[in-house]
Amino acid sequence: MVLVTACPETEKTGSFSLAVVDEITITKGQTGLANITIARTDDFDDSVTLSLEGQPQGVSASFDPVSTSQTSSKLTLVVSNEAIKGQYQLTIVGSTSTQTQKAFLELIIQDEISIADFSLSVNAIKVKKAASAKTDVTITRVAGFSDLVALSLSGEPNGVSGQFNPQQANNSSELTLTVGNDTVVGDYTLTVTGVSDGKTHTASFVLTIEPKAIQADFSLSVEPVTVIIEKNAIVPNGILGPIKAKTNVTINRTGGFSDLVALTLSVKPDGVNSEFDPESANDSSALTLFMQENIEIKTYTLTVTGVADGKTRTSDFILKVELKEDNQKPAAISVTPAGNAIGVEKTANIVITFSEAMDRAKTEAAYKSNSAGIRANEVTFSWNQAGTVLTINPNNDLKYKAIDNLDELGFEYAFELTNDATDLAGNNLVNTLAPKFRTLRNMTHTIYAEKDAAILKDVSVGGCLGDNNQTSSSICIGDGGEVQYDAGAPMGGQVDVTNKPLRGFFSFSISELPDNIKEIKRATFYANQKRTNSGVNNNAYRDLHTPGRYLRIEHVFFGPILRVESFDTPVLHDIGNLSTSPSLGYKAAIVTESLKEDYNLGVGRLNKSQYRLRFDKDTDNDGWIDLVEFYTKEGLESKRPKLIVNYLVP
């Protein structure tokens, strides 16, 4: 056999080669048959087109098939009586779109002979381990040879067997090769021997044994194999069973098996229920077993069954139910509020977490308290499902103590949980609990203004009408600018000929408040209205309001120093009306949210809370003074501007 490999015309990942017998002898007027093997590498699957070059006159050739993506073809040569006797070199050419390969065959043309004979040829074959495959044995006859040929096989490795069909053949026989599971992978040369009429001929071929094909399938395994149950470890309140244990079912896949596997617990003892999560799984599923309290103490074998794509697989595992004696005393591992806690909120519950499940009735009976609001008859008991967490919920809110100074302590609450409390096995609590705690304190704090003044727009900072007196006992808000005197005018005959607006500013130092305020409940701004003008031509509440908006209070931040430019300080919060009438006395506005913001920003606002008073209209430009007057921090002590802050503190 001659094998010639040409360089591919175009670079390609795989390749192919051609193989044919070295020579073939054909008598004039006869036909010859040659098997061509197309060997492929790296899954090369292009179609190969075959052609023949070099045949002499009087010889015709045909391929069956002429183009193929398989691994073989048959070459038929017909030699006419006119062909010239001799030896000829024939070239078999195989072509694809990217490669060309050649094989050479020597053709011997002889005159008609009187000796009848035969020859054999066999195609190469590939077989996977634990599988079978078939190849053809071709019998070529000359000079009228007509006897049946008895075929046999030799050279097969261990684990390989062959069977011919038929074993005594005329023109061809189908050879079936069966490869065992233990045969070594590799290439083997086998020989087919044909015997007939005292003649013996052989043909060799290559058997390639490949690794075993892996079938798509799955198997199950359950880990851990042993599950140990401690009875009474879980409080009996379950729906499917009060005692439960968990394990995992693993799905092992081979051969690319990808279907979901439906799982069931197919073999189980009475009183055992199960849940798979998920029920149809890909790689694994969590299996929860639920058992009744009266399950027998013994070892059980359970079976998990999985079904997918018509396949059913099972896996056994052991469930070991074991009753263990419990002589360990339970302990309280956490209590809230913690012992000696301060600043506890009025809605707080008492929560006790135990090291194991407790006897609920005995534990509740062990609770004692003489503190009003948390006595045993003033609370409600509740438990988590496992019986390890007791929540004691007062039926009414706890109390906060109103204090006048921060040295006073809050209300104290105390309770006991005696060691009469037991676990489910009757073991007493390791020790008696006797925690105490105090609730938040309610403090009301008055802060007086540290700075207050009026600003006459573009002119001055002072008390009233641009007097530049920042220690005045009063400030004015409204319109008043360049003043002339008219004996018929109110307020001492003053007439405003420019109507410049006046706004009042107040600053409070909140550094007086403690740093640990839990909640600011309420903050109220107070300013005492000292005097208003209400003449025919000048009336601030009448002339400087818009519908629903009168003397307004605004939350602002002008910083440490009040300047003329502070007049238009941006508004942080438009709080609302401080006053809608000229009645005298304190006017109040709720400023809780503004104060909270200043407190939370702290030094970012210089620990100050600042406000501005103004009428909704800065001026009516009528040439008359429209003013209201308020006491300042320099005024009467009982009438100073102030913030009254109510807050909760630990």
For residues 579-602, give the mean pLDDT: 96
Write the CA distances from 81 to 56, 57, 58, 140, integer angstroms. 13, 11, 8, 19
For residues 608-628, give the mean pLDDT: 91
pLDDT digits (tens, 9 = 90+) for 414-435: 999 999 999 998 999 999 999 9
pLDDT digits (tens, 9 = 90+) for 500-517: 899 999 999 999 999 999
pLDDT given for residue 371 in this prediction: 95
Strand 626-631 with 474-479, pairing: antiparallel
Write the CA distances from 224 to 228, 234, 368, integer angstroms. 10, 20, 46
d(CA 517, CA 648): 6
State whether 317 and 336 are in the same domain.
Answer: no
For residues 222-229, give the mean pLDDT: 64
- Residue 143 located in a structural domain: no
d(CA 251, CA 220): 5
pLDDT given for residue 242 in this prediction: 64
d(CA 464, CA 478): 10
Report pTM. 0.52
State whether 424 and 508 are in the same domain.
Answer: no
* Domain hosting residue 553, numbered range: 448-649
d(CA 520, CA 648): 6
What phi, psi does 376 have (nearest 5°)?
-55, -35
pLDDT digits (tens, 9 = 90+) for 312-364: 999 998 888 776 677 899 999 999 999 899 999 999 999 999 999 999 999 99
Closest CA to 16 of 75, 63, 54, 72: 72
Q: Count the Cβ atoms, other than its own, within 10 Å of residue 386.
A: 14
State whether 497 and 354 are in the same domain.
Answer: no
d(CA 288, CA 285): 10
Per-position DSSP letters for 332-368, written without gaps between them = EEEEESPTTEEEE-TTPPEEEEESS-B-HHHHHHTEE
State whether 353 and 291 are in the same domain.
Answer: no
The mean predicted confidence, pLDDT, of the chain is 88
- Residue 135 located in a structural domain: no
Is the Cα torsion angle 258, 264, 268, 271 positive or negative in sign? positive
Number of domains forming the structure of the chain: 4
State whether 473 and 569 are in the same domain.
Answer: yes
d(CA 245, CA 464): 84
In sequence order, the 6+-apart residues with CB closer than 8 A to the CB of 490 are 533, 535, 538
Residue with tokens 């009429």: 197
Residue 8: which pLDDT band, with cuts at 50, 70 and 90? very low
Poorest-confidence range of 18-22, 85-89, 227-231, 516-520? 227-231
**Domain stop point among 420, 439, 458:** 439
Per-position DSSP letters for 274-343, written without gaps between them = EEEESSEESSEEEEEEEE-TT--SSEEEEEEEEEETTEEEEEEEEEEEE-----PPP-EEEEESPTTEEE
- The CATH number that applies at residue 336 is 2.60.40.1220
